Amino acid sequence: SEAQVILLELIPYFTAPFSALGSSMILYAIWYDWRTTMRSLYHRLILGISLFDFCSSTSLIVLGPWAVPEHVEFTKFGRGTFTTCATAGFFFNFVFGTMWYSSFLALHFLLVVKFERQESKLALRFEPIAHAIPILIVLITSSYGVVEDLFNPMRELPGWCWYMDYPPYCSTREGTPECIRGEKYEPVSSTAGPSTVIPNFLIVIGSMIMIVLKVRHTEKQLRQYGHGQNGNLQRTKETAWQGLLYIFAFLIVYFPIVLLYFFGNRNTDDSKHKRVIFGASLMTKLLTPLQGFFNAYIYFNKRFWMLTREGECFELLRRIPVLGGWISDGRRATSGVRNVRPRSNHHNKPDNGYCQTHDEFEANSRTNQSTSKNERSPEEVRPEDEGTTLHHV
């Protein structure tokens, strides 16, 4: 109906800004402390996810429903041309780069948690593939779509342009008008669509299951031999839980696309089927533009922030109203976490909770390690104290 079309076209204007803001905050945080963040494979993968998501989310705001050609009958706000539609489709296709990066992030957590791989080794073999596949697939398919006029208005998702023939289904269904554009869209659509969605869902679900089984197996072994909870297990559980949150966000954001693809290919006028299509379209319009928002919530979650780097945070973010106080409140964030020691006050800096700049953190960590080792007997020195205080993510 007309009301449903208007609703589907306007929803991204309310959801996409949250995603663009979340991704831009992550990009800013990584850039501001790039000397530290760019050493970590985790942050480099998050950088890739956020770049692709920022481009796709921003395109939904800047190149919204108005970019659809005005004469298209299943749009209410179309004021553009096929050129503006192709431009919108080019950038919207970046959402599949976000999907690939999310899958490689899930694999990263799997390799670290279950197989205990070092990031330095993963950076040599795993990382080049993790960057090359999303970038090459997205850029090649997007460029080809523009050159071959494959980006056209979508009937099930009014206001968006992607791989489609025009008029819709003119190349696949009988009784439709002759194709004007995009009659060869299906091979590219399959490459960027099902050939991307299905493998990525298998990767993230498989990673989630193996991570959970690994943590449960480790806990069972420790209980069996009477060791209880130790510091290494606690850090493994925190890292695993953070990885699982990214996986949950992936499933929430992209599952509606799977439903829409499955039901959208059925050629029927059944009213029940139409209601299902509208429901899947509504969830897709509502959730797909929120990937950056969910990522930002996980990335900036103060519990993980404090466990990622004991006592360190970005000084500039502390000056932002509300957010700065939320990040700086380190005492309550770590009050229930074992093996997270408060930083020593053997320095002249004011106590800001556990929140420090990178330089303060590095200097205080060396002082704290030296002081705590001198104050304890040799048998009290734990193995983890001999290494760095920076956790893996």
- Which pLDDT tens digit goes with each residue over 181-221? 888 888 787 776 677 888 899 999 999 889 888 888 877 77
pLDDT digits (tens, 9 = 90+) for 229-285: 566 667 777 777 888 888 889 989 988 887 877 776 555 566 677 788 888 889 999
For the chain, state the CA radius of gyration.
24
* For the ranges 113-117, 194-198, 306-310, the one whose mean pLDDT is highest: 113-117
Phi, psi for 125 (deg, rounded to 5): -115, -45
The residue that leads in pLDDT, 381 or 40, is 40
Q: Specify the pLDDT at position 311.
A: 43
| Cα 281 to the center of its chain, rounded Å | 21
Q: Specify the pLDDT at position 89.
A: 93
SS3 content of the chain, % helix, strand, coil (to 5): 70, 5, 30
Pull the structure tokens for residue 189: 């659509």
Whether the predicted pLDDT of 120 surpasses 60: yes
Residue 102 pLDDT level (bands cut at 50, 70, 90): very high
**Best CA proximity match to 236, nearest among 388, 356, 354, 338:** 338
Query: Rounded CA gap, 252 and 298, in Å?
Result: 14
Amino acid at 379: E
Query: Rounded CA gap, 107 and 127, in Å?
Result: 11
Q: Specify the pLDDT at position 9.
A: 92
Q: How many residues does the chain have?
A: 393
**Best CA proximity match to 43, nearest among 305, 347, 241:** 305
Contact 192, 137 (CB under 8 A): yes
3 contact partners, CB below 8 Å, separation of at least 6: none
Q: Specify the pLDDT at position 318.
A: 52
Average pLDDT of the residues in 275-297: 89
Residue 313 pLDDT level (bands cut at 50, 70, 90): very low
The residue that leads in pLDDT, 70 or 344, is 70
Query: Rounded CA gap, 342 and 306, in Å?
Result: 11
Mean pLDDT over each residue of the chain, to the nearest integer: 76
Q: Specify the pLDDT at position 57.
A: 94
Pull the structure tokens for residue 271: 């009213």
Within a 13 Å sphere around the CA of 305, how many CA atoms are in the beta-carbon half?
28
Strand-pair partners of 161: 153
Average pLDDT of the residues in 131-144: 92
Phi, psi for 135 (deg, rounded to 5): -65, -45
Cis omega (within 30 of 0) for bond into 167: yes
Pull the structure tokens for residue 207: 């990673």
275 contact partners, CB below 8 Å, separation of at least 6: none
Q: With the C-alpha atoms ordered 357, 358, 364, 369, is the resulting torsion angle positive or negative?
A: positive
Average pLDDT of the residues in 96-119: 90
Whether the predicted pLDDT of 382 surpasses 50: no
Q: What is the pTM of this model?
A: 0.74
Contact 163, 189 (CB under 8 A): yes
Query: Rounded CA gap, 170 and 175, in Å?
Result: 8
**Best CA proximity match to 104, nearest among 207, 253, 239:** 207
Q: With the C-alpha atoms ordered 314, 315, 319, 323, is the resulting torsion angle positive or negative?
A: positive
Residue 388 pLDDT level (bands cut at 50, 70, 90): very low
Residue 67 pLDDT level (bands cut at 50, 70, 90): very high
Whether the predicted pLDDT of 82 surpasses 70: yes
Whether the predicted pLDDT of 291 surpasses 50: yes
pLDDT digits (tens, 9 = 90+) for 25-45: 999 888 888 888 888 899 999
Within a 13 Å sphere around the CA of 7, how many CA atoms are in the beta-carbon half?
11
Residue 360 pLDDT level (bands cut at 50, 70, 90): low
Contact 165, 183 (CB under 8 A): yes
Strand-pair partners of 151: 163
Cα angle 242-245-248, degrees, rounded to a multiple of 5: 155
Q: Ramachandran region of residue 174, left (φ > 0), alpha (ψ -120 to 50) or beta? A: beta
Question: Tokens 């890292």 identify what position?
Answer: 239
Whether the predicted pLDDT of 296 surpasses 70: yes
Q: b or e along 369-378 (b: 16 or more beta carbons within 10 Å of the residue's beta carbon)?
A: beeeeeeeee
Q: Specify the pLDDT at position 129.
A: 95
Pull the structure tokens for residue 233: 């297990």
Residue 61 pLDDT level (bands cut at 50, 70, 90): very high
Average pLDDT of the residues in 339-351: 38
Query: Rounded CA gap, 344 and 375, in Å?
Result: 12
Whether the predicted pLDDT of 96 surpasses 70: yes
Residue 227 pLDDT level (bands cut at 50, 70, 90): low
**What is the DSSP-derived secondary structure letter of residue 192?**
H
Residue 3 pLDDT level (bands cut at 50, 70, 90): confident
Query: Rounded CA gap, 96 and 289, in Å?
Result: 12
